[in-house]
Amino acid sequence: MQIVRGLESFPPDSAPSAVALGAFDGIHLGHRAILGTAVTQARHDELRALACTFDRHPMEVLQPDRAPLPITTLEERLELIAETGIDTTVVIPFTPAVAGIEAQTFVRDVLVGTLKAREIVVGFNHRFGRGARGDAKLLEALAATLGFRAHIVPALLVDGVAVSSSEIRAALQRGDLPDAARLLGRPYSIRGEVVRGAGRGRTLGFPTANVKTDRPLGLPVGVYVCRLTVGGRQHQAVVNVGFRPTFGETELAVEAHVLDFTGDLYDERVTLTFLRRLREERKFPSVDALREQIALDVAAARTAS
């Protein structure tokens, strides 16, 4: 998949396209339906399948205090978009100037003019343009006069719940990883770099990799069953997300005990895939009590995996 960063970098001689428009945070099942529709239309009409998205999330610019926690980084988003068959993704830096473009102007000048859209695909509730005044109804109204076809993808229901990034965030915030996975279409994961910690895990008999994550987790503190992927290999892991109250710590840490693993993970890039929440984090009366609970957590993780 070709990645174009900024409209000024888009090739002026590019072929006409079928454009999927959206923030696409998480690339959940609903997003895949939108992107898949663009791919299907592009193949049918011999167009280029194109995704148009933004960096950063519009709310981070317009209302930073209310901006949602990201479900994916831009890097992860682009990799997931590529899996859908999209040929090119255009990443528009979202700035106050971009936010100020009127919806009709955005469709006319950006989507139809620059990106040469002949088909435009959006989700049923997508809004765009200044003051978020652009919506599916406006897109349909502009289609005939600007020479494109509008495709509005309806809500996708999973177990009676409309798939959305906000529903996924809510599932993550309550630690319901199976529910989040159903809406995402895959288990929730996060990437990060292994950094040096206090080294207490090794003294407890359960050495841990301290993972500095690329973005906030969005999960409640607690102990989780995970898969840790490093160098293309997957390993079972028990991950503690929390403040280590037994030791009086106050800084949030993500510590992974990798089962049946020997080796050095320092400075390695890893992916943590969260499968299930085992329990809440709590303060233990002694180090021995903590050690006993960790052994129980490891046993439970082996059973769960």
Residues annotated as part of the active site:
255
Please name the amino acid found at residue 284: F
Question: Please, what's the b/e burial string for 164-178 (b: 16 or more CB within 10 A of its CB; e: otherwise)?
Answer: bbebbbebbeebebe
Identify the burial level of 82 via C-beta atoms within 10 angstroms of its C-beta, where 0-12 means exposed, 13-18 middle and 19 or more buried.
middle
Number of other CB atoms surrounding residue 46 within 10 Å: 8
Smallest CA-to-CA distance from 124 within 92, 95, 161, 162 is with: 162
What pairs with residue 117 in β-bridges? 17
Q: Edge-to-edge strand order for the sheet containing 149-153?
A: 2-5, 88-93, 48-55, 17-21, 117-123, 149-153
Distance separating alpha carbons of residues 114 and 108, to the nearest angstrom: 9
Residue pair 84/39 in contact (Cβ under 8 Å)? The answer is yes
Residue pair 20/51 in contact (Cβ under 8 Å)? The answer is yes
Half-sphere exposure of 102 (CA within 13 A, CB side): 4
- DSSP for 258-303, please give it: ETT--S--TT-EEEEEEEEEEE-----SSHHHHHHHHHHHHHHHHH
